[in-house]
Structure 1
C-alpha cells in the first residue's frame, strides 16, 4: 500500500468502516466478505488488511465508531451532575438515547446489525460478550445513579436501587429491541417520552 499522510490514512480507515457498516447491514455479518467491503469502499482487499487484521476487528471498529456518537451526549446528561435530581438525569439520558436512535440513521443501522443481522457463529462465536459490553456498562451507570437518588431521598424508600437499575436496563433493552427488530415498533417513537416519564415516575419519592 502506498505511503499516505496521517490525514489520508484516517480518511481511508473511516471510509472502510462506513463501507463495512453498509455491507453488514445489507447482507448480514456472516455473509459479508472483505471483498464486498473493499468494493463498497473503493479500495483493495489488501488495503483493508493494512488497517484491520480480519473481519472481526473491522466489526468492532465499526461498532466503536458509532457507539461514541450515541454515548457522548447520553453520558453528558447522565454523569455531569447538571440535574439536582438524579432521576431527572436518568429520564433525560433515556430520552436522548432514543432521540439519537430515531434521528441518526447510522446509529440505527448499527443496532439493527447487532440485534438482527449478526449471527454469533464461526469467527463471531466468541465476541458476543464483547458486543454486550455497552449494555453492561449502561447497567453499571444506572446502579450508581439510582444509588445516588436513594441517598438524596429522591427515590421511594421501599425500592432497591439495584433492582430499579436492572428494571430500567430491561425496559430500555426491550424497547430498543422492539424499535429496531421489526416495523411494528416504528409507531412507538411517538410514545417513548411518555413511557419513559411513567417509568421514572413510579420511582419518585
Structure 2
C-alpha cells in the first residue's frame, strides 16, 4: 500500500509539472497562477502546494525535467573518447542538441518558456542565474574540448580556446533564439547542420 501511495504521489507531481508547462507556455510565467495550474492538472490547489512551495519551485521543476538529461547528453558527447578530434565532438554535440529540439516538443516548449515567456523580474530576478547555468557549463566543456584540440594540433593556430568557446556559445544561443523566435524557421532548420559545420570549420587547422 505504501508503494502504491508513493507511486500515486509521483503521478500527481508529474501531472502538476505537465500542467504548469502548458500554462506557463500559454500565458507566460508572470501571468500564470497556481490556481490555473491546479485546474489544468485536475488537482486541488492544496495538492499543488503539497508538492511545490511556490511558483518559483514549480518553474524550476519544469526546467529541470529537460535541462538535466539534455546537459548530461551534451556532456557525454563532448567528453566522449569516440572522436579522435575534439572539434568533431563539439560539432556533434551542437548538431545533436538542435536535432533533439526538433524531435522533442517538450524540450522546445520548455525552452520557449525560458527564453520567450518568462520575465526575470521581482521574485524571478535571482532565477535567471540558475537558468543560465547549463549554458555556462556547456561553455566550460567546449573550452576544454578546444584545449584538447589545441594540444593535438587540430585547433587553428592563434585561436585561444576560452575565447573560441565563448564565441561558440554565442553562436549556439543565437541560433537557438532565431529558431524559437522566427515564426517560419523551416529554411533555417534545414541549414542548421551546415551552419554548425561552417562554424567549426573556422576553428580547424
Normalised TM-score (structure 1): 0.95
1-structure distance, mates of 2:44, 2:4: 15
Correspondence for 2:92: 92
Correspondence for 2:183: 183
2-structure distance, mates of 1:20, 1:104: 18
Contact 1:159-1:203 within 8 A present in 2 as well: yes
Correspondence for 1:51: 51
Correspondence for 1:5: 5
Shift of 1:64: 0.4
Q: Does 2:36 align with 1:33? A: no
1:183 aligns to what SS in structure 2? coil
- 95-104 vs 66-75, which moves further: 66-75
- 184-193 vs 131-140, which moves further: 184-193
Correspondence for 1:68: 68
The one-character-per-residue Cα deviations of 1:67-106 (angstroms, maximum 9, x if unpaired) are 1342233222111221111000000000000001111110
Correspondence for 2:82: 82
Shift of 1:183: 1.0
2-structure distance, mates of 1:75, 1:6: 32
Correspondence for 1:131: 131
2-structure distance, mates of 1:111, 1:186: 18
Stretches of 4+ aligned residues off by more than 4 angstroms: none
Structure 2: gaps (5+ residues): none
The one-character-per-residue Cα deviations of 1:96-136 (angstroms, maximum 9, x if unpaired) are 00001111110001111111100112211221111111111
2-structure distance, mates of 1:187, 1:70: 25
2-structure distance, mates of 1:16, 1:189: 32
Structure 1: gaps (5+ residues): none
